[in-house]
């Protein structure tokens, strides 16, 4: 099957599923998600399909417990479909990259705690999850620097820059990374 000209120009196909109540300040609409993830795909020269679900703390807690054996909620989970395969390049038509699951309540609480917008936090979590889909990790210092440097560059690409009042570094020095 040959892709049409418009389909060939698209770099990322995104399916957004909102499964929890979402306050007005949380940008979980398809346009926002697509803009952030398209920027990541362009920067990394990747094509593919991604599913994004926005869920409650209870739902992400259950997923975290079931798949990671961690019995608490978290902010974002990624379920890669690549598992050891090479990251698809721009010549691949439409490979399924995986699923990203974001807890809306946790994202909003973190945005407030760290002094930046809900858009910045949700954008950070989307990019963080997307990079995990592609095999990026932050298990050692070099990998962490690479991953968090990419996150910051992608967020800057879409105008989600760190605000001067961002308190993340001082608010939670134990958490790695800077959204």
- Nearest Cα neighbor of 108 from 100, 97, 117, 99 is 117
pLDDT in tens, 95-145: 889 999 999 999 999 999 999 899 999 999 999 999 999 999 988 999 999
Average pLDDT of the chain to the nearest whole number: 83
Does the annotation place 61 within a ligand binding site? no
What residue segments make up the domains of the chain, in order of their start?
12-171
> What is the model's pTM?
0.83
Task: Report the C-alpha gap between 152 and 179 in whole angstroms.
Answer: 7
128 is in an annotated binding site: yes
Are 151 and 127 in contact, with CB atoms under 8 Å apart?
yes
Residue 63: pLDDT over 70: yes
Q: Which parts of 84-167 fold into alpha helices (H)?
A: 104-114, 118-133, 141-157
Q: What pLDDT, on the 0 to 100 scale, is given for residue 17?
A: 86
User: 12-171 — its CATH code?
Assistant: 3.40.390.30
Q: Any residues with CB less than 8 A from the CB of 57 and at least 6 apart, and which?
A: 73, 103, 105, 106
């Amino acid at each position: 099957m040959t892709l049409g000209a418009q389909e060939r120009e698209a770099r990322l196909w995104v399916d957004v599923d909102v499964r929890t109540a979402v306050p007005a300040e949380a940008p979980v609409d398809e346009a926002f998600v697509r803009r952030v993830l398209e920027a990541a795909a362009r920067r990394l020269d990747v094509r593919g399909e991604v599913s994004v679900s926005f869920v409650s703390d209870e739902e992400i807690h259950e997923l975290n417990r079931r798949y990671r054996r961690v019995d608490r909620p978290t902010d974002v989970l990624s379920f890669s479909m690549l598992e050891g395969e090479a990251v698809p390049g721009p010549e691949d038509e439409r490979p399924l990259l995986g699923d990203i699951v974001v807890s809306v309540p946790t994202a909003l609480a973190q945005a407030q705690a760290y002094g930046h917008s809900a858009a910045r936090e949700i954008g950070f979590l989307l990019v963080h999850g997307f990079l995990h889909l592609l095999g990026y990790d932050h298990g050692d210092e070099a990998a962490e620097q690479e991953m968090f440097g990419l996150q910051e560059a992608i967020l800057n690409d879409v105008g989600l820059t760190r605000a001067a009042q961002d308190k993340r570094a001082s608010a939670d020095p134990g958490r790695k990374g800077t959204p």
